[in-house]
Amino acid sequence: MTDYNSVFKDESKLDINFVPSRLPHREREHRLLMEFFDFLLRCPERMAQRVIITGEVGTGKTALAQRFGADITLEANKKSLRLRYVHVNCREYRGSLLLILQQAVSVFRPNFPKRGFSAEEILSALAQTLDEDDAYAVLALDEFDSLVEREGSEAVYKLTRLQETRPGKPQRISLIGIVRDLKLLDKLDASARSTLQRNVIALEKYSEPQLVDILNDRVAMAFEPSAVPDDTVSLVAELAQSESGNARFAIELLWRAGKYADSEDAGEVLPECVRRAVSSIFPTMKKAELESLGLHEKLFLLGVARFFKENEQAYASLSDVEKAYAVVCEETGEEPSSHTMIWRYAQLLSSLGFVKAEVAAVSTRGRTTRISLPAIPAAELEKELCALLAKEEA
């Protein structure tokens, strides 16, 4: 195998399971979680806490819970308090309370029998184990939705009312439920719902600038210096914003783009690498729609493709692609359309998803239309358009 210099310094920092020491734009929610559990650190036996973390996919729910788990455990150690954070994905265990509790108790008792015990008995055994160790547990139930959907109020009631079966004993188990939609709790009966809705942390979708901050943090950890230009980060953030501000998607896309850069020994993660990466996730080359375009719409799009193929940047001004379009027209013997028609081509192609056309401020010169090619590799688009044009000429 030929030696090459990878753009990655430590690609594990882009793994979905990696939890960074700092969570950009989730600092307030982290402080709130620590505040909710402060009493647990000071008087652990007197009160168990219950918190719900809610937010759409990619808003950082799991990362927030796991970062909190590591930090609360560290604070407990400083106080010589035996506290364990246990994270269980309910969907992995098919939403079964029995299987979820089997996994939780195995953290403390690896040899605990897999058969012969009901969910209530396992929960009681977990509390007894913690009594024997004089320890406490924060049980984080990720994808809590699947447990509620499968077992409903009864399962939630068992989890939250454990102490009622242990009068006079220390409260050992606190609970964090992680859900996508808080409306899920409407499926619970009033008594089960009342135990969960007191402390809710709702995570909003990330904005594009926030995604840029998150990505820049990961770039510094995962990539070699100067391997990822600012334009590339901006393009990834823009694409992730179009996917409901999904930070998980942004980080995966950045990793895939790095892989494309390495496969071509590019030395940099250029915008074209991002286009190739997103194309591999979402096949976006819509041949039928390409064929339906008018001649000059195709020529304009070919000019866009060639501009981005020849220029290692993520964005272009309308005047930049207008010049590229003029060159294509000269090559094909066509008279270029007017500036007004070119603007209309850009708007049409943007509405079809081939390009993205947006108004952007340019320092003191006012505003201009900015063009990007977010989801289709420029070289692939050029090849497809050239084939279509050749077919039409034949």
DSSP E strands, 161-248? 173-179, 200-202
Q: List, for residues 265-299, the tens digit of each pLDDT value.
A: 999 999 999 999 988 876 656 777 888 898 999 99
Q: List, for residues 17-52, the tens digit of each pLDDT value.
A: 899 999 999 999 999 999 999 999 998 888 889 999
Query: What confidence score (pLDDT) does residue 310 get?
Result: 93
Query: What confidence score (pLDDT) does residue 336 get?
Result: 95
Q: List, for residues 146-167, the tens digit of each pLDDT value.
A: 999 899 889 988 888 887 778 8
Judged against a pLDDT cut of 50, whether residue 1 lies above it is answered with no
For residue 364, what pLDDT band results from cuts at 50, 70 and 90?
A: low
Identity of the amino acid at 220: A
Q: Is 96 helix (H, G, I), strand (E, B) or coil?
A: coil
Query: What confidence score (pLDDT) does residue 2 get?
Result: 47
Q: List, for residues 166-188, the tens digit of each pLDDT value.
A: 888 999 999 999 999 888 888 88
Q: Is 307 helix (H, G, I), strand (E, B) or coil?
A: helix
What is the residue whose two structure tokens read 């080359």?
285
Judged against a pLDDT cut of 50, whether residue 93 lies above it is answered with yes
Q: Kindly compute the dihedral angle of the four CA atoms of residues 5, 9, 11, 13, in this order, to the nearest 10 degrees.
A: -170
Q: List, for residues 302-331, the tens digit of each pLDDT value.
A: 999 999 999 988 999 999 999 999 999 999
Query: What confidence score (pLDDT) does residue 282 get?
Result: 65
Rounded to 10 deg, the angle between the 247-263 and 230-242 helix axes is 140
Q: Around Cβ 56, how many Cβ atoms within 10 Å? A: 15
Pairing outcome for strands 136-142 and 173-179: parallel
Query: What confidence score (pLDDT) does residue 272 get?
Result: 94
Query: What confidence score (pLDDT) does residue 283 get?
Result: 60
Query: What confidence score (pLDDT) does residue 365 get?
Result: 57
State the average pLDDT for the chain: 91
Judged against a pLDDT cut of 80, whether residue 64 lies above it is answered with yes
**Angle at the Cα of 19 (from 13 to 23), degrees rounded to 5?**
105
Q: Kindly compute the dihedral angle of the four CA atoms of residues 370, 373, 375, 376, in this order, to the nearest 10 degrees.
A: 170
Query: What confidence score (pLDDT) does residue 291 get?
Result: 85
Q: Is the dihedral of CA 327, 328, 334, 337 positive or negative?
A: negative
Identity of the amino acid at 306: R
Q: List, for residues 67-80, the tens digit of each pLDDT value.
A: 999 999 999 999 99
Judged against a pLDDT cut of 90, whether residue 136 lies above it is answered with yes
Q: In whole angstroms, what is the distance from residue 137 CA to residue 156 CA?
A: 17
For residue 361, what pLDDT band results from cuts at 50, 70 and 90?
A: low
> What residue ranges define each of the domains in the chain, with the CATH number in brackets?
27-202 (3.40.50.300), 227-281 (no CATH), 287-393 (1.10.10.10)
pTM of the prediction? 0.83
Q: Name the CA radius of gyration of the chain, rounded.
A: 27
Maximum C-alpha span of the chain: 91
